[in-house]
A = this chain, B = another copy of it.
């Protein structure tokens, strides 16, 4: 397979442009170095240290492949305490996250062997509105103090996710949210300092880390995720240009429907996902090089493509011809593919097999 053109792939197939991935990773590492914070992600420049994951299956997968210093940045699920304990006892540094005193109780009930400490990040909600103790609530400081005072555990850091940057359009709006999240986090760090507690701090999201504000240099770490691949959504938000997007789904024309002025392609929602709800001017994806085509709707294995305006010229899209989809949300697309085909300038280099499940 190596060296073959990507056009030889069976479709639908997710292809990853490794040069863009490297470029996106390098740019992010440089941005982070400029800020003076660590780039807490898999793109570790070869160190295989200091990574953030959102499922325990990923943590185990990376631990099994020589990675260490892993933060499982997900509110401690009580069914997985024992598996977290095993990783904590096996790795140099496995870190968990929580936002509730009940979770601290769970960890107290399972002390680690050999005098090891549970390394805990406290999740702070800086008005993102997902997980975390709201930064302004007195519970936040109380929980941090409780962690700091508990035997057998350590308050490693304070962690905030500015997922609300996904509602932004353009750098200016992104930086308003990035500044707000940074400020709330730093204010909270001051409150901690006032009661004698010091620990790390981290904020993240691909938009904010793609356009960091100066104050983010005062944090210990940042944790972007999607930036390695980017996608149409990030280009709409303003995190990247469409040229920087490293992933595509290759698909082929499998049907002509002149009575509906449509094409059928061999990529349905099982190949690209329903993320975005089809609300782009070009529907569920951008069809590269064909700005007048729209991925209108999908079933599990079929996509319906029609012109944004005018009549389809079917001679341009014979059965079997290939179209290239730029995903709306590369995370959602990646979940659908058991294999990613990695290429450089259109020549296959190999496959990446992602881990799945929880």
Contacts and interface: CB of A to CB of B under 8 A. Distances in A.
Interface string A292-316: 0000000111101000000000000
A299 B130 contact: yes
Interface in A228-255: 252, 254-255
A9 B131 CA distance: 23
Given A12-B358, A75-B264, A338-B357, A100 B256 contact: yes
Number of this chain's copies in the complex: 2
A283 to B, nearest CB: 14
A78 B318 CA distance: 11
Nearest to A260: B129
A261 B223 CA distance: 28
A23 interface: no
Contact of A10 (B99, B129, B358): B358
A269 interface: yes
Contacts of A264: 75, 130-131
Main secondary structure of the interface of A (DSSP, over half): loop
Interface string A122-146: 0000000111001001000000000
Contacts of A137: 259
Nearest to A256: B100
A142 to B, nearest CB: 15
How many chain A residues sit at the interface, stated as a range, is 35 or more
A306 to B, nearest CB: 12
Nearest to A318: B102
B100 A319 contact: yes
Given A54-B301, A137-B259, 5 more contacts: A10-B79, A79-B252, A106-B320, A131-B254, A163-B299
18 contacts: A10-B83, A12-B358, A55-B301, A75-B254, A75-B255, A99-B255, A102-B319, A102-B320, A129-B260, A130-B264, A130-B304, A134-B259, A163-B299, A273-B274, A274-B332, A335-B336, A337-B357, A338-B356
